[in-house]
Amino acid sequence: MTEATAPRLISLFSGCGGLDLGFIRAGFKGVWANDFDADAQAVYKKNAKKFNLGEIDGRDILTVGEDEIPDGDILTAGFPCQPFSNAGNRKGVHDSRGMLYKECLRIIQKKMPKVVVFENVKGLLSAKYIDGRKLPDTIIEDLSTIGDIGYDVVYELLNASDYGVPQNRQRVLFVGIRKDLGIGNFIFPAKQNKENLTVGDVLNMPDGLPNQEHWVYSPQALEMVEQISEGGSWKDVPYENLAPRFQRIRDDMKKYRSPNFYRRFSRTEICGTITASAQPENCGITHPTENRRYTIREIARFQSFPDDFMFFDDSLKNIVAAYKVIGNAVPPNLAHNIATAIMEQVFKGDEVCQ
């Protein structure tokens, strides 16, 4: 398959390019990408030439007309996950960001690509639409009937660590294949072994890699971290050394669902989900043996980004923003596995890509 016949990728809510990178490595050609977040745009642009990502449109998707977007064979969308996240306010579609899903439908109805891929957090599975229906059922119904042709749609909750990502990160993926192609339902790729995915494997890196700076902990957070051993959490901290709010939680663990703040994964474990906030209270962001956050390069490795994918330099210095865009990204290795399966099942020959 040549570049001229490669399936054309329309990428909505592209972030810093993790999903796009995985698809392009699988043989797809990016023809249009969009994200409104300035930090994500900056990182995407920084790496576009090296990784063949193409251009990214930084406009609000609400202002982009369907005719301004080129035709494509596949459309991917990681629409904002915060309304559906277990770590968020769980307003779901009642949050204005939740309705950005409708913008995806608007563009799909106009372009009718052969394949549609939605990626989101686990919380979407229990979210409800405004009319009370479960959101996954709504998505399937919408895609099944769109454009008088519709899509055969399946979804599955995946753990990124089953697909070469050194992180236990659960995400739900919807894949729709246009019904008139006669292919039927997408078959998700088989799970892989989890060799070489531990924290120790990730931290075993060559010297001289870029973006090794880290976001310094506050004095209060550092005081907590210093009392937690490798493989432990806030539960290691003596009660009398806890701040009052943590003491209240410790007093009634059942009420607070036994939270596991300040998790410090050991070198023999697979890391937990890297979040956009990079706060020790909601993700295992602390180095196993050093009293600090993981560096930008380290968390990029947990997300399976290449070591030469740049998140800041002299022209891009916001280290907190770098944590955010990495935490929000789709792991490239997960994306690559899904993209490869789609390529094999849908785009089997050059004639399909014409």
Question: β-strands 151-159, 74-77: how paired?
Answer: unpaired
Residue 130 token pair: 């405004």
Is position 81 annotated as part of the catalytic site? yes
| Integer Cα distance of 38 and 18 in angstroms | 16
- DSSP character string of 21-74: HHHHHTT-EEEEEE---HHHHHHHHHHHHHHT----B-S-GGG--GGGSPP-SE
List phi, psi (to 5°) of 11: -120, 115
Q: Which helix (H) or strand (E) holds 144?
A: helix 135-145
| Integer Cα distance of 105 and 270 in angstroms | 36
Is the distance from CB of 20 to CB of 307 less than 8 angstroms? Answer: no
- CB atoms closer than 10 angstroms to residue 121: 23
List phi, psi (to 5°) of 44: -55, -50
Is the distance from CB of 135 to CB of 99 less than 8 angstroms? Answer: no
List phi, psi (to 5°) of 9: -105, 120
Q: Please enumerate in sequence order all residues whose Cβ is within 8 A of that of 132, keeping only pairs 6 or more positions apart, or say none.
A: none
Given the residues 16, 81, 104, 283, select the one marked as catalytic. 81
Q: Among 270, 280, 144, 161, which residue's Cα sits nearest to residue 225?
A: 280
| Integer Cα distance of 43 and 31 in angstroms | 18
Residue 45 token pair: 């642009």
Chain-centre distance for alpha carbon 44 = 14
Residue 83 token pair: 């309304």
Across the strands, what pairs with 271? 167
| Integer Cα distance of 191 and 116 in angstroms | 22
Q: Which residues are catalytic?
A: 81
